[in-house]
Chain A
Amino acid sequence: MYIRTEEDEIMVTISMEIQILFAALLFLIGLIGFLVRRNIIFMLMSIEIMLNSAALVFVIAGAHWLQADGQVMFIFILTVSAAEVSVGLALILQMYHHFKTLDADALRKLRDSRENEDIPQ
């Protein structure tokens, strides 16, 4: 696809499928990072990646339909993620303060207490 700009330069654009696929890949990276990492800080970073991949889809859509809304939405998401990170980091600090660890798997107090019981016949 070719677009003729005002300066008469020819810009090569990438098709939307690939753009979306790229965003999906980014999301998958974040998700896998979240699942495999045990360090809570890395998990928070993975969440950020996922959030940004979602925001990227807005930008892609905005560019596709030539609407400014997509970029406005991106700004909003950026704000929300900034707020979320600040809360998340505060929680992580508290967590380290209390448990002296950053390992998410070590925090299992909410598990079912009957976990080790036998299933009744």
Chain B
Amino acid sequence: MRILIPLIPAIPLLSFLIIALAGRFISKKAVGAIGTGSVIFSALITIAAGLYFLSSAGEGAVTSSVYSWINTGGFSAGISFLLDPLSLVFCFVITFVGALIHLYSIEFMRDDDGFRRFFAYMNLFVGSMLILVLADNLLLLYLGWEGVGLCSYLLIGFWYKEPENGYAARKAFIVTRIGDTAMILGLFLLLISFGTLNIQDLMQQASGRWAAGSPLAVISAVLLLGGALGKSAQLPLQTWLPDAMAGPSPVSALIHAATMVTAGVYLITRTHVLFTLAPVVMTAIAVIGAITLLIAGFSALAQHDLKRVLAYSTISQIGYMFLAMGIGAWSAAVFHFMIHAFFKALLFLSAGAVIHLLHHEHDMFRMGGLHKKMPLIFYTFLTGAASLSALPLITAGFYSKDQILWFGWTSASSSHWLWLAGITGALLTSLYTFRMVFITFYGELKTEPHEKAGALMTVPLIILAILSAAGGFIELPENFGPVHLFSRLFETVLPSVAIEEGSSELIFQIVSAVITLGGIYLAYLLFFRNSPIVKRIRGTRLSDFFYSGWGFDWLYNFLFVKPVVWFSEVDRKDFIDAVYTSIARMTGYFNVLISRSQNGKLRWYVLFLTAGITVLLVVILSL
């Protein structure tokens, strides 16, 4: 068991090395097989580890130390891994969904020149992400954290020949870097306070030494939260995610929907002891989540690009997870993470298939009428959409989102405003989701698909569709039945929610069901029946405002980018620069002066040589 854990991240990393170093000597088929096979192998190990865990219930966590990385001055950090139910769930999603996405990519990227590069990056990503979730100390976690950031950058800018893709990649990298800086400061603070970065020691000492609400606890929680906000694209660092859609669709599915963007959720859940010591920060997390999910929901309503709708939807759904964490519903957040990974990966892969078959057409308004042309993709997309908008009873999304909404009302640390934000978000979700479905798949056919999707693309879609529909049955609401496989798994690692009594869960389920169905019906009226209201709204200032993502790009451009550019323009000729320019100019001057002596006349050279020797002799002899 202990030997198996390090293999989970090691195998994809090994495969990355093979493809990166020897990729050009192997055929594309072999590269695809190695790249996908390694992730499948990791998934099998993870499943084996999971079965071991479920069979020996009650045993908290397994640690496995591979190598002592740093050991100096009383501080030590090792390459050592910790497998507990939390990292197990993340590992399962990363490897299992990752394997399906790799499988899909073999066909999706088949005709791309960068096929080998793609698989190398993807494997590096999976390896780094697994290091992130398996690390037993925060330094190793940070290594994985930066590793996935790098891969995200590389894969957003994968088609680097278009300058905009490069800009999008840099934007993602720089914006997340702001959060990462806060996070590393938080790590330093924790290191100074406790002298260790081992997560379990840290949590134990923090709860022992820091009182709830003490300033150091609040500051370190805020700094860690900064990192989480950047990575998970939450307010105010959410602007990079919609632009990150410049990458290939499998990348959006794996990195910018299923795994990397939820690293923030993982970080906060992993260090939840620290966050519970800072109730102010917990409230902030819940409020940030609530505001983000609303802002992103409205923005998703106005997008034209299929993938951008999904991007805003991802921001919005992660907002739900933050909301859940903020009110202490840790296992609900992780449950929603898992279900979200299934249906959002499904939606991105289906959207990718549509875009792929329509010659890279991203604009929804130029698709239309595709439900007859590609029925299989339509049905998988519809399943994902239903799960995203939490269609009651039959989809997994209902069970995970309902749990968050329920805790949003009943949790002792929640307020009814948060529930209201959540339920409004649910209406928005079903509205924008089915707007997307109706515009893309119904109406008149505008672009003809040029081929059919092959088995490598459709099989992952079908598997994910089954999971998006049935994945919720492992954790049922209290009044449905006593099935709590998921929260039972977390009993030992995560505290459960403190609930205020006095509400009936059934009423809330009915309310959210009505809201979801109402949203779908509204979308049907507006976008299937082509209501004239839609035409009137389009092009108005409000619609443009939502389209631009509430003008955050404009605001940041105005507040940060322009002043810095202005200052650097002004500061161009300060005296420090003057020193360096004058050195450069002097060098140039002497260069031209001396190069005059290179006149090509042999006899002049000899003359100079003689003169030089004479001078030298005189000097030496006269000493």
A residues apposed to B, CB below 8 Å: 31, 34-35, 38, 104-105, 107-112, 114-115, 117, 119-120
Contact = CB atoms under 8 A, between A and B. Distances in A.
18 contacts: A34-B606, A35-B610, A105-B602, A108-B600, A110-B598, A111-B599, A111-B600, A112-B595, A112-B598, A112-B599, A114-B592, A114-B595, A115-B595, A115-B598, A115-B599, A119-B589, A119-B593, A120-B592
Contacts of A35: 603, 606-607, 610
A110 B600 contact: yes
B601 interface: yes
Contacts of B592: 114, 117, 119-120
Contacts of B588: 120
A105 B607 CA distance: 14
B597 to A, nearest CB: 8
Contacts of B589: 119-120
B596 A112 contact: yes
Interface of A is mostly: loop
Contacts, number: 45
Given A35-B607, A104-B602, A112-B598, 12 more contacts: A31-B610, A34-B606, A35-B603, A35-B610, A38-B603, A112-B599, A114-B592, A115-B595, A115-B596, A115-B598, A119-B593, A120-B585
Interface of B is mostly: helix
Task: Bin the interface of chain B by size.
Answer: 10 to 19
Interface of B: 585, 588-589, 592-593, 595-596, 598-603, 606-607, 610
Contacts of B606: 34-35
Contacts of A109: 600
A81 to B, nearest CB: 18
Contacts of B599: 108, 111-112, 115
Contacts of B610: 31, 35
A108 B605 CA distance: 12
Contacts of A112: 595-596, 598-600
- 9 smallest CB-CB distances across A and B, nearest first, come from A111-B600, A108-B600, A112-B598, A112-B595, A119-B592, A110-B600, A111-B599, A104-B602, A120-B588
A104 B603 CA distance: 8
Contacts of A105: 601-603
Contacts of A117: 592
A109 to B, nearest CB: 7
A21 to B, nearest CB: 16
Q: Which of A109, A112, A117 has the most CB of B within 10 A?
A: A112
A81 B606 CA distance: 19
A78 to B, nearest CB: 23
A121 to B, nearest CB: 8
B605 to A, nearest CB: 10
A79 to B, nearest CB: 24
Contacts of A120: 585, 588-589, 592
A117 B596 CA distance: 9
A78 B612 CA distance: 27
B596 A107 contact: no
Contacts of A34: 603, 606
A38 B585 CA distance: 38
Contact of A108 (B585, B601, B607): B601
A109 B600 CA distance: 6
Nearest to A118: B592
Nearest to B599: A111
Nearest to B593: A119
Contacts of A104: 601-603
Contacts of B600: 107-112
Contacts of A110: 598, 600
A112 B600 CA distance: 7
